[in-house]
Each structure stands twice: as C-alpha cells, then as structure tokens.
Amino acid sequence: MKEIPSSHTESPWFKDTFEQYYHSIRNYCYFATGDADMADAFTQDVFIKLWVLRRKVRQHAIKTILYAIANRIVRKGFVDLKPEFHFVREFVWDEKLGRVDSPFIDDEDYKLLQDNLAEIPRLRRTAFLMNQIEGMSPVEISNRLNLRITAVENFIKEIGESLCKQLYAKVSTTKTGYQIEKLEDCPSRLHAIMQRLRVPFSLPEAKAWEMLSQGIADMNRNHRLRHRLMNLGAVLLLLIAVVSVIYDWQFAFATIEAPCGKNAYGRLPDSTVVVLNAGTSISHRKFGFATRRLVALNGEAFFDVKKGELPFRLVVGMDTLCVKEARFNVYSRSEMFMVECLTGEVLVSTQRFPEGKVKSGYGFAIHQSAGNIQLFGINTMEAVSWIRGSYYYVEAPLRMVLDELERQFCIEIQTEGVNIDQCLFSGHFAKTDLKQALNCVCNPLGLKFIIDQKGSTITITSND
C-alpha cells in the first residue's frame, strides 16, 4: 500500500488526482442533479472526503472510491433537498462543433428534450449522459458506477429509443418543412445533438482547487488546534487559550449570503443543510456553535435541521424558532413573517403573539400591518418551489410579488396608479424569462408593463 502524504501540498499526488478526476466527478454530480451550483458544492465534498480517507486509500482504487463517495453524497443531498430540476436548460451548446440541423433547436423542442431527460431515474440518466456527452463506453461506466455492463447497455439503449420516439413524434407533425422520414434515422440525429452538449461550469477548475485547498487547510488547522489544546498542561497557557476562544466566541461570526438573482447553498457546523433565496443572508458564531446552535436569518431560506444534543434556534428579527429535528421554510421580508413545516415540528415564539407549534404539513403566517395570525395547510412541493425557480402565491399582496421579481431578475419596478398593498395576486411565475414572468403576474390583474431599453427598469400601470 502506497502511503499518501499528510499534507496536500507535500506531494503532487492529491493535486494530480484532482486534475485527473475533477471534471468527471463534477459532470457526474451535474448529470445527477441538473444544478450547476449544487454540483460544484457536491464535488468539493467528494474531494474533501477523499482527503480524510487518504491513509486508507489504495492508489489503484482511487477512481472507484471517488465515484462511490460521489454517489453517496449526491444521493443524500438529493433526499435532503428533493430538488425538481430543469435539466437541459443549464446545458450550453458547443459553438466550436457548431449546431446541427435539428428539430431541437427551437425553444419548444429544447424543452421537450429537457422534460424527457428530467423524467428519467437518476442512475439511468447519469449512465446515459456519461455515454452520450463524455463518450464513455459501457465498460467504463459500469466500472465507475459499480453496475453490470449489460445493465448499462440496456439503460443507454432504452433511453435512446425513448428519446428517439419523442423526437420522431414531434418532427413528424412539424410545419417547418424539416422531416425525418424514418424512425431509424433518429438515433444518428439524437447522437449528433447530444455530442454538441457540454456541461456548464460556474466555478473554474483553478478556483475550485483554491477553495478545496483552503477548506483542507482550515480542517487541518482545526484538527491541530484541538490536539494541541488537549496536551496543554500549563494553567497559564490554558487560561490564555480559553480567553482567546471566549473572545472569538463573542465577536467572530460566519455569514452566508445569496446575491441578487441567485440561490446559495450551505452546511452549518452541526450538519444542518440550508438553501438561501436571492437577497438573503444568515450568520452564526464561528466558534462554539455546538454550545448554542443559534443562527440569525434575514430573508427567506430552507433548513434541514438534524437532531442534536441542543435544540436548533433561528432568530428572525424579533421572532425566534426552536427546532429539534425538522425540514422547514422561513420567509421574513417587509411586513410578512411565515413558517412552512415540511417534516417534524417547529416551535414559534414572537413578541406580539403567544408561543405556538407548527406541525408537519402546516404553515404559520403573521401579517404585521393586519396584526393577525394565520394557520394553514401547505403544499410541500410549492412551499420550496423557489429552490427550483418557481414562485407560487395565494392571495398575496402585489407588493410582495413585485419585490420577489426585483430580487430574482435584479431589476427595479415602478408602479403608476396601482395600489400594490390592496391588490392581491394568486398564481405563479418562473425566473427563466423576465417578460414571461411579468405576463404571468400582470395579465390576471389587468395590468400592463413597459421594459426600458436597458431592461433594468420596469413600469407597471393599470389598463384603465
């Protein structure tokens, strides 16, 4: 067994491994999730786990171990967040190879391919895309995913045939003049299209390596600090260390922020998973988190809280949530405070109203201006649909909806002759296209909008 160095900077082994497998592992995570940011985060976790296991790893088994780690992380993350993605939408065309004369080029056909890929089970879809986009053979895929070769071959064949049937059914009724005369012609067309798809990388490889190196350095530094503190015998040195730690506990904070137009993913020191909506931030103490489990939130976020020795507490303005183990969504903006519990139970404590519990499948809302409490049943998929880029409302003030549009599209909205506090909206919009989202909101309310030349300022007026 070849010994691997204790520091990733002592030998090129770890960086060579990263450079050799980063793109493949990142592609695997993307094929499984369809989310570029989530794929970046999962890939970081994979290589950090490899570093932790480095003394138990045999050199010839690194590839197998990497994919086994990636599979566990993706599967766990998928269960935690239950994302419903729009898979193909995040692919980009490889302009060097050029486009093909294909019926998938228009938006309708692009969505057809996207929807069909999204419906395929994760493992089957991943094997198919590794073959079609990365060019791996069934033997290579079976070795990496620990599947039988015949199973991989069947996955590729069945998915290809299914997509071809969808393609043939679409183009056989098209009015553009493009035709595929025989169903047998579809596989070559589909293969040509798939060969021109590439996985988007929101995080460059060099930046990913820099973040990974920093994460390992922080992990090693924390490990050495704990080991050193355990061996301190002198009362004076111990006292200095305690004073330093107390100072850090008191004043050092960690913050996670989601900028305009983007979500942010994070994992707290107690393994709590958190997803932040655009224009949201959370903060907690860098040190001593386990002794309090206290987090402050400004905006909207989804939390998956694991059970610990102490309850998890979330401070939202003047209100506090207390959780032992639950998955829930919190919205706190302007005059609206809302908690929606997907699993478990959330204890809500406010200054203006008595303490109460929100159980699984229910929501709790306070309208500050109206001064009333509302308890309601929830649709668990719609409650966190914003993670997938869809926003649902039931009799929500128009101001609340327009504020969300501003955050998601990084725009400024002005209104003329519209009472946005009294006007209520029921419906939804997606953040894929600004004009389509504005139509979804304005049309049901009899409103019209004007987009300025720069596309950054929207004016909404009444049709009257």
One DSSP character per residue, 247-276 reads HHHHH-EEEEEE-TT--EEEE-TT--EEEE
pLDDT tens digits for range 21-40: 888 888 888 888 877 788 88
> Taking 70 as the threshold, does the pLDDT of residue 315 lie above it?
yes
Q: State residue 57's pLDDT score.
A: 79
What pTM, to 2 d.p., does this model score? 0.51
H or E segment to which residue 112 belongs: helix 107-119
The predicted pLDDT at position 440 comes to: 95
Structure tokens at 303: 């939390």
Q: Determine how many CB atoms are found less than 10 A away from the CB of residue 420.
A: 16
Query: Rounded to an integer, what distance in angstroms lies between the CA atom of residue 225 and that of residue 218?
Result: 10
- Give the closest residue to 103 by CA, choosing from 179, 162, 165: 179
- Name the pLDDT band for 272 (thresholds 50, 70, 90): very high
| Residue 14 to residue 212: CA distance in whole angstroms | 11
Q: How far apart are CA 83 and CA 79, in angstroms?
A: 8
Q: Is the pLDDT of residue 176 over 60?
A: no
Whether residue 260 contacts residue 412, with contact meaning beta carbons closer than 8 Å, is answered with no
**Domains of the chain, each with CATH number or no CATH:** 10-193 (1.20.140.160), 252-384 (2.60.120.1440), 388-459 (3.55.50.30)
pLDDT at 284 over 70: yes
Q: Which pLDDT band, with edges at 50, 70 and 90, does 232 fall under?
A: low
Q: Report the pLDDT value the prediction gives residue 336, as an integer from 0 to 100.
A: 87
- The predicted structure's pLDDT at residue 393: 92
Cβ atoms < 10 Å from Cβ of 340: 25
At 80, list the tokens: 């935690």
**pLDDT given at position 3:** 44
Higher pLDDT, 77 or 271: 271
* Confidence at 227, pLDDT banded by 50, 70, 90: low
pLDDT, averaged across the chain: 81
Q: For residue 183, how many other CB atoms are within 10 A of its CB? A: 14
Question: Could you report the per-residue pLDDT of 182-206, keeping only the tens digit for each?
Answer: 556 677 777 767 776 777 777 778 8
Per-residue pLDDT of 117-155, as tens digits, reads 777 888 888 898 888 888 889 999 998 888 899 999 999
More confident residue, 460 or 54: 460
pLDDT tens for each residue of 353-387: 677 889 999 998 888 766 678 889 999 888 999 99
The Cα 32–Cα 11 span in angstroms is: 32
Distances (CA, A) of 292 to 80, 105, 194: 23, 54, 50
Q: What pLDDT score does 427 carry?
A: 94
* Dist. CA 46–CA 68, nearest whole Å: 9
Q: Residue 410: what pLDDT?
A: 93
As given in the structure block, the two tokens for residue 271 are 């393994």
Q: CB–CB of 300/329 below 8 Å?
A: yes
How many Å apart are CA 180 and CA 171, to the nearest integer? 7
Please report how many Cα atoms fall inside a 13 Å half-sphere around the Cα of residue 312, on the Cβ side.
27
343's enclosing H/E stretch is strand 336-349
* Span 414-448, pLDDT tens digits: 999 999 988 999 999 999 999 999 999 999 999 99
Q: Which residue has better confidence, 368 or 396? A: 396
Q: Output the pLDDT for position 175.
A: 45
- Assigned token pair, 44: 């970081």
Please report the pLDDT score of residue 287 as a whole number.
Answer: 76
Per the document, the length of the chain is 464
DSSP labels for 420-453? Answer: TTT-EEEEEEETT-HHHHHHHHHGGGTEEEEE-T
Asked whether residue 292 carries a pLDDT value surpassing 90, the answer given is no
Query: From residue 217, how far is each of 6, 20, 43, 51 by CA, in Å?
Result: 11, 21, 17, 11
